[in-house]
Structure 1
Amino acid sequence: MDSAREASDAPTTAGPRDLLDASTDAAAIVSGDGVVTGWTRGAEALLGHPASEVVGGSAAALVAMPADPARVAAVAARCRAGMGWNGLISARHLDGRTVEVDLRVSASFRIGEQECFLLSARPQRRPVTVDPSVIDGFLTRSPVGMAVLDLELRYVWLNDTLERFGGVPREQRLGHRLSELLPGLQTVAIEGQMRKVLRTGVPITDYEYVGWSWADPHRQHAYSTSFFPLVGADDTVTGVCYMVLDITERWTARRLLTLVNEAGTSVGTTLDVMRTAQELADFAVPRFADFVVVDLLEPVLSTEGHGTWLTDAGPAPARPVMRRAGMSSVREGCPEAVARIGDRVDFLPPPHDATLLIDGDPILIPVLDPADELWASQEPERARSMREWGLHSLVSVPMRARNTALGLTTFVRSLNPVSFQPDDVLLARELVARAGLCVDNARRYTREHTAAVTLQRSLLPQALTGGTAVEVASSYLPADATDGVGGDWFDVIPLSGARVGLVVGDVVGHGITAAATMGRLRTAVQTLADMEMPPDELLAHLDDLQLRLSVEAADDSARPSTATAVLGATCLYAVYDPITRRCTMARAGHPPPVVVAPDGQVSFPEPPAGPPLGLGGMAFESTEIELPENSLLGLYTNGLIGGADRDMEACMVRLGEVLARPAADLAALCTSAVEELVPVPQPDDIALLLARTHALGADHVVSWEVPADPVAVAEARARATRQVEEWGLGELAMTSELIVSELVTNAIRYADGPIRLRLIRDARLTCEVADASSTAPRLRHARSTDEGGRGLFLVAQLSHRWGARYTGEGKIIWAEQEIP
């Protein structure tokens, strides 16, 4: 080290092997005063000296060079500054010979109190001498095109590869410029790069461009070129040399990958089949083609999802029925097209049939000939379009995804003079495959979304009517406006005696499971209400049903999540009687209703809350209130007033204030109430049912006490007939007389008194007979030999509907007739 010869005072750039990488080098540790303190086996292998002979001795004994103390001091100072040093030295081997090594010295460090340096060395490689003929063969036959040009950019020399690339013989190139030989090869830009190199002396590497050559005039090639100056002995620039490599395959693969990646962000941005097809057409024009059409099979566009073609389901029809789903052209308005968006099409490139869509490969027609017999006979309109607009090359790719045939995408070129090549088919296949997945996703989503929304709409009432008892309006706002499927429901159920049932419920959760549970509960409420059950009994039966559903779901191992979905449900059921203006209600864990009196006073009557449905073991209680005529009764779900960041009591007060505003249109009031209370989307579904109450006056209802004597039947018939005629319903007099006769006779014969007859003229004419017995009547089908048993059968035949309901005093048998 005392006589090291420095090769470079500048630190070397770290490469694959770093300056201090001693994994395979000879390495030693030398103290600041030049004593060897560490010696590796690599050092022993390089110089032959064992560690026992070297450690503790001077490092200068290993150097076979004249001493140079000044240079050693400079190296030591550099290493102490933390920069390290490397250079070539001659070392002394154990056998006396000299070994040329590449020495590296690390920045100084300390071991205890001692300053040390890490030295690593590797033998210097001797230069290999190559025969001049080898060099000449390399330059001439290299797979890289090479050329030398003078200061005027005229060819001086070129190798065989470059001659082959350009297709221009060497003799025609020498002495001429590139722009004179290959005017279509971006020569202006290429010569501009060479002039820049001549002017600055700075090489330019990996300059890529695309063009054609005389060697292959029908295919576009991509090239990578590097330019560097030629320098003479006096350091003057004497010319420019360039090397060119054909990178068409790499460029094609990169272009394919780039376009496919771009398509991933441009195609399939929505879950709409038609929109996705149009995005594919828009993306490909003009990047890839001048005219693109996307035709999809009709079952793919169907929201029902029936009739899709499976690729393994056997033969397909000869002529598929498709619709134009997407279309784009470099010409405004797509004048080349023979069909518009939404039109039915059956286009398949001749002579192919529908098996192309099932299992066929993409079709490449590099040169379209409109005079071809197949095109002229099978596709005359398209042959005419080819001639008129110059359509000269075509690629058709079947669109398939997940074992389903979806349609056909056709790419055509007209303004672009280059015909489609096999590489373009690969790109078209990738684009269509990516779009096919998006179309299939959109198709499946549309089908499932339509099914879910259809289920939801079918489970909710299509049209609400409260008869003459109430005027009703409703608003339903799902938590997910795009999905629209939730577990909230409401209903208005006409009951006997001009009464009406009002119900609102809330199933915890969203989606199909919640909607299905809601449908079950709504159907059960309608059935139980039709059985004339009072609100508290109806909720008790509904609670039993929900409990059974929960148990069934818990026992079903195939649907473990259903049990959770059906456990949580609340409900409020109210019955309003317009004759007495009394409203009876009960609730199961549901928010109380809101009542706005005619004078604008707001109240929240609170019947006992009761447990949510499905818990079981607890009773429900009902409450009865009197509602003045034109009162507003509001039933709502928790989503209208609840929320993590909302005060429920404040929202209830706000709801009352909104509903207390004067409003002639009840539907508008209902909508505005939801919009004001829920201005932004909420995580819960919202349902609001409003009912403005009416009352039936004395001129619509009459009643009489009937003695428990068969003789009284005649008087009851006569009174009923006279009343019906006074109401102007003479057409119903005879049937009313028969109904009254049968109902009163049965009450006198089989029930206990007191007996009461009541007639109600509402939307229908109702006859009611009340008695003190709780025995339910039974409709019999009497034999021809029986003398009786036909009374209720006659009532059922003469009336629109009939039934019985129980009261605290007994029961009421009723029958309704349609008013002409």
Structure 2
Amino acid sequence: MDRGTERGAPPSRGAGSGTADGHAAAGRVPLAVVVVDRDGLVSHWSRGAGRLFGAGKDEAIGHSAADLLPVSGALPDEAQTPPHGGYAAYDGLGPDLESSLDGGLSYPAAGRARLTVPGVDRVDVLWWAYPLVGPGRERLLVLAADAGGLRRDLDPDETGAAVERIAPAFALHTDFPGADELARRLPEILPSMSVGESARIVAQVLELGYPVLEFSQNDRVPVTPDWGVPRRAERKARRERAARAAAEGLPSPQDGPDEGEDLEYVAVRERLEFLNEVSGKIGTSLDLSRTIVEVSRAVVPRFTDVAGTYLREQVVAGEGFPDGVPDTTTMWHRVALEHTDEPGRWDDVVPVGEAMPFPAHTPFFQCMTTGEPVLVPRISEQMGHAIASQFEKRDIRPLITGRSMLVVPLKARHVVLGFMILLRHPERVEFNDMDRVTGAELAARAGLVLDNARMYTFQESVAETLQDSMLPQIPPRMAGCDIATRYLPGTLLGRVGGDWFDSVKLPGARTALVVGDVMGHGLNSAAMMGQLRTAVQTMAALDLPPAQLLRNLDDLAQRLGDTYLATCLYAVYDPIASELHLANAGHIPPVIVRAADGRSELLDLPTGAPIGVGGVPFEAVRVRVEPGDRLLMCTDGLVEVRGEDIGVGLATLTESAAHPAASMDDACDAIIRALNPRGGRKDDVALLMVRLNGIEPDDVAEWRISLDPVEVGRARAVVREQLHDWGLAKLADGAELMVSELVTNAVRHSHSRPVELRLVREDTLLCEVDDDDHELPNLLSAGPTDERGRGLRVVSTLAREWGASRTKAGKTVWFELTLPRR
């Protein structure tokens, strides 16, 4: 005979005699056994199932389980009774069996339904459903029993008097009487299959919970299968009443509480309203920290008195999705704690922000590894001591002992992101199975919201990292100038955009300055920006004139695609000649602030067409500057406001740039505040401010060296003498040696023009050697017998920095030395 177990709550006379520990003795209950495959079709139909549901094995195997089992459906009209009866779900734990058959069941569920079979009185059916995993086709095991027969068996003398309620439930992870017998007899009632497959299913059933019955002389309010949604029979009756009223020309009846509405339905409806209310309170933003607080506060005090939220380390850090199943080494961060106790009672013992692992024997570990809620009706002193042992030098037993605890997982895409520990005061009613299912649904919704916030935080971090990697780390000082920059992503368009700025060191102590703006936003614009920025750096290193550089950049954009458009402003600052050489490709003009009188103005440049238009010439202009002048270059996101003429923004930019500031950074911040007073900026902003300090003539020394090897000795002598005059005698030996190597190479490879030697004293000592040979030198590995290849090796070893670049007339090889501290 198919068998199950029973437990009393409290034990009734029909449940068998109670044991010493308060459990009811194991009983024997006829069970119907049904197995459903991954397609929702019945693959096993026991004889008990045939007797209970009125369908033979041949009529069930291979047919849809939803048509044969007591799913949450309408009680049929008497004239329209289907072949195998109709069902009305009216009681249950967890989701209805219909959703279980659809493959959405991830934890065991139980329920109750009334069954109408032709020629038989209405049958009261109890059912338990277990999700199955593994390589086989079995996906759902359903056990069912006749509640009416149980009621008669339990109290044959006083039918129904002693037992007012019979509810299906599970004994989860407990040493329950009869468990050994169930484990021994369960394989006998399963379909014919291999020993391994049978053992796999039995192991899953025992892990998910033994099927039990709860008997009570008091009304209990279990959760209905349809979660408080009006039963289809009730909705059908309402539609029929409305149709009759419309046919008779009467007003449509108002929907109100049905006559048959009972306390069960009211209680379930309250739970549904609670879940809907919680859903409205959480997920109001995509900020992970705010979402965590919302989830914790949503359940206190209505559902629980204490709510502690723990998340995995990767989730808190905003990293990718956590990999693998949690184990005893997994670190869990306490990210929120809400309670109704007196202020400060929990703060010192379990502070927010603490990270800790959980041992395998704890209910927390069980929740995080199984992904299912864990209910502890009351925390005993022994369990309280076991939990408290994890907290070094802090005794949390007074906070938890005697309280009812429910641990619910926060899951997304079948991965546990964290869990919530819910505690109720000892004087409050303890958590029950109804609360367990409610907590599971609450955690499912909270897990989805947290995962959305986690993904948004992760994507924001990725976007920020991508943008930061594409923007250069510009040093605050270059030769003859100070630089300050700002990049602000658009507030509504994500953190990745196509705005950029850059600076490139050029021969002759010059500096190239560039600001660009790729049209559009997002990853495509950022990718194009990276290509154009790399191209500008490459062409700037070739010392191309500004107009020629923009011409080449436009050709590159044409080759990349027709949709590539960008604006660009390119300037070369020569601190020795005190001159700016600029060219514009459809960009907003720069602002120059004169140091002499503090006056600011937009530089009048030929506008040019954006990069990517093609076939349009670019023009360059030269502008004289003085030491102390400031150059301001930015993208249009700073000055352009929808619905407002851009001239207003340019006027404000010009005015704000003229205001004095304590530092370059303060000046940048003041400009941004002036242009964005209400925080309504929607586009990216790139801002580059340069103080043009210039280089004094006394800090520059130049010589022309004829193409005679004898002149190498003169070059060494003039360098040593100049360094002594500048008070840099400590650098003389090394500088003299490196100048000798570079001048020797230049004299050897030059064609006709004399070699030019220049020393520039600024923040570093810069030495440049120019010749008319376009071939750049290479750093070679010289062997013991090689006569050449050691010169640049010496320079590379002794110099702070060195390099070589082509010029219009040939090439420049340079090195820098760090100035000694004064």
- With normalisation by structure 1, the TM-score equals 0.63
The amino acid of 2:334's aligned partner reads R
Aligned to 2:729: 730
**Deviation digits for residues 633-654 of structure 1, max 9, x if unmatched?**
1111122233432222343233
8 Å Cα contact 2:805-2:812 kept in structure 1: yes
Corresponding pairs, count: 573
Which of these residues, 573, 582, 586, is aligned with residue 585 of structure 1? Answer: 582
Measure the CA separation in 2 of the matches of 1:386 and 1:793: 71
Which of these residues, 354, 363, 368, is aligned with residue 343 of structure 1? Answer: 354
Aligned to 1:95: none
1:289 partner SS: coil
The CA deviation at 1:718 is 1.1
The CA deviation at 1:368 is 3.2
**Deviation digits for residues 720-768 of structure 1, max 9, x if unmatched?**
1111121122222122222332333333333212333221112222222
8 Å Cα contact 1:295-1:345 kept in structure 2: no
The amino acid of 1:759's aligned partner reads L
Which of these residues, 292, 296, 321, is aligned with residue 277 of structure 1? Answer: 292
The amino acid of 1:765's aligned partner reads L
Measure the CA separation in 2 of the matches of 1:602 and 1:273: 45
The amino acid of 2:682's aligned partner reads P
Measure the CA separation in 1 of the matches of 2:333 and 2:622: 61
Cα distance change of structure 1 residues 794 and 384 upon mapping to structure 2, 3 Å threshold: closer
Structure 1 runs not aligned, ≥5 long: 1-159, 167-213, 223-242, 552-563
Structure 2 runs not aligned, ≥5 long: 1-158, 166-215, 225-257
Aligned to 2:653: 655
Which of these residues, 669, 683, 688, is aligned with residue 667 of structure 2? Answer: 669
8 Å Cα contact 2:757-2:767 kept in structure 1: yes
Measure the CA separation in 2 of the matches of 1:492 and 1:513: 23
Aligned to 1:41: none
The CA deviation at 1:610 is 3.5
Listed as ranges, the matches of 1:180-579 within 5 Å are 215-216=217-218, 247-305=262-320, 308-309=322-323, 313=324, 316-318=326-328, 320-333=330-343, 335=345, 338-347=349-358, 350=361, 352=363, 354=365, 356-370=367-381, 372=382, 374-377=383-386, 379-380=388-389, 385=396, 391-414=402-425, 416-462=427-473, 464-480=475-491, 483-550=494-561, 564=563, 567-579=564-576
8 Å Cα contact 1:319-1:354 kept in structure 2: no
8 Å Cα contact 2:474-2:503 kept in structure 1: no
Cα distance change of structure 1 residues 803 and 219 upon mapping to structure 2, 3 Å threshold: closer
The CA deviation at 1:440 is 0.8
The CA deviation at 1:287 is 0.8
2:477 partner SS: coil
8 Å Cα contact 1:494-1:501 kept in structure 2: yes
Asked if residue 695 in structure 1 is aligned to residue 694 in structure 2, the reply is yes
Cα distance change of structure 1 residues 293 and 804 upon mapping to structure 2, 3 Å threshold: closer
Aligned to 2:753: 753
Q: Higher Cα Rg: structure 1 or 2?
A: 1
Measure the CA separation in 2 of the matches of 1:503 and 1:786: 44
Aligned to 2:801: 801
Cα distance change of structure 1 residues 440 and 711 upon mapping to structure 2, 3 Å threshold: same
The CA deviation at 1:360 is 4.0
Aligned to 2:3: none
More deviation, 439-448/292-301: 292-301
2:739 partner SS: helix
The amino acid of 2:408's aligned partner reads V
Measure the CA separation in 1 of the matches of 2:727 and 2:534: 37
8 Å Cα contact 1:291-1:329 kept in structure 2: yes
Cα distance change of structure 1 residues 408 and 808 upon mapping to structure 2, 3 Å threshold: closer
8 Å Cα contact 2:514-2:569 kept in structure 1: yes
1:510 partner SS: coil
The amino acid of 1:302's aligned partner reads A
Measure the CA separation in 2 of the matches of 1:778 and 1:462: 27
**Deviation digits for residues 570-622 of structure 1, max 9, x if unmatched?**
21121111111111122222122222222234443344434322344545443
**Deviation digits for residues 205-247 of structure 1, max 9, x if unmatched?**
xxxxxxxxx952887999xxxxxxxxxxxxxxxxxxxx99772
8 Å Cα contact 2:479-2:511 kept in structure 1: no
Cα distance change of structure 1 residues 347 and 282 upon mapping to structure 2, 3 Å threshold: farther
Measure the CA separation in 2 of the matches of 1:387 and 1:691: 64
More deviation, 698-707/614-623: 614-623
**Deviation digits for residues 91-140 of structure 1, max 9, x if unmatched?**
xxxxxxxxxxxxxxxxxxxxxxxxxxxxxxxxxxxxxxxxxxxxxxxxxx
2:298 partner SS: helix
Cα distance change of structure 1 residues 682 and 715 upon mapping to structure 2, 3 Å threshold: same
Measure the CA separation in 1 of the matches of 2:390 and 2:803: 69
The amino acid of 1:665's aligned partner reads S
Measure the CA separation in 2 of the matches of 1:277 and 1:803: 53
2:421 partner SS: strand
Aligned to 1:813: 813
8 Å Cα contact 1:298-1:323 kept in structure 2: yes
The CA deviation at 1:260 is 0.9
Cα distance change of structure 1 residues 758 and 435 upon mapping to structure 2, 3 Å threshold: same
1:486 partner SS: coil
**Deviation digits for residues 647-700 of structure 1, max 9, x if unmatched?**
223432332222233444332222222222333423322222111211211210
2:576 partner SS: coil
**Deviation digits for residues 300-350 of structure 1, max 9, x if unmatched?**
2122226x14xxx5x541354211122222213363685221112445795
The CA deviation at 1:254 is 0.4
Cα distance change of structure 1 residues 741 and 350 upon mapping to structure 2, 3 Å threshold: closer
8 Å Cα contact 1:368-1:392 kept in structure 2: yes
**Deviation digits for residues 74-102 of structure 1, max 9, x if unmatched?**
xxxxxxxxxxxxxxxxxxxxxxxxxxxxx
Measure the CA separation in 2 of the matches of 1:618 and 1:358: 65
Aligned to 1:80: none
The CA deviation at 1:359 is 3.0
Percentage of matched positions with identical amino acids: 38
The CA deviation at 1:285 is 1.6
**Deviation digits for residues 132-151 of structure 1, max 9, x if unmatched?**
xxxxxxxxxxxxxxxxxxxx
Aligned to 2:197: none
8 Å Cα contact 2:769-2:813 kept in structure 1: yes
More deviation, 273-282/788-797: 788-797
Cα distance change of structure 1 residues 396 and 778 upon mapping to structure 2, 3 Å threshold: closer
8 Å Cα contact 2:367-2:409 kept in structure 1: yes
More deviation, 725-734/482-491: 482-491
The CA deviation at 1:788 is 3.9
Which of these residues, 598, 620, 623, is aligned with residue 621 of structure 2? Answer: 623
Listed as ranges, the matches of 1:99-110 within 5 Å are none
Listed as ranges, the matches of 1:65-80 within 5 Å are none
8 Å Cα contact 1:497-1:766 kept in structure 2: no
**Deviation digits for residues 510-569 of structure 1, max 9, x if unmatched?**
333333433343344334333433333433443344444437xxxxxxxxxxxx5xx122
Which of these residues, 607, 631, 634, is aligned with residue 633 of structure 1? Answer: 631
1:748 partner SS: helix
Which of these residues, 629, 643, 646, is aligned with residue 644 of structure 2? Answer: 646
8 Å Cα contact 1:280-1:326 kept in structure 2: no
Cα distance change of structure 1 residues 784 and 454 upon mapping to structure 2, 3 Å threshold: same
Aligned to 2:19: none
Aligned to 1:137: none
Measure the CA separation in 2 of the matches of 1:490 and 1:393: 60
Aligned to 1:763: 763
**Deviation digits for residues 751-790 of structure 1, max 9, x if unmatched?**
2123332211122222223344445445554554443454
1:757 partner SS: strand
Cα distance change of structure 1 residues 685 and 753 upon mapping to structure 2, 3 Å threshold: same
1:284 partner SS: coil
8 Å Cα contact 2:756-2:770 kept in structure 1: yes
8 Å Cα contact 2:576-2:694 kept in structure 1: yes
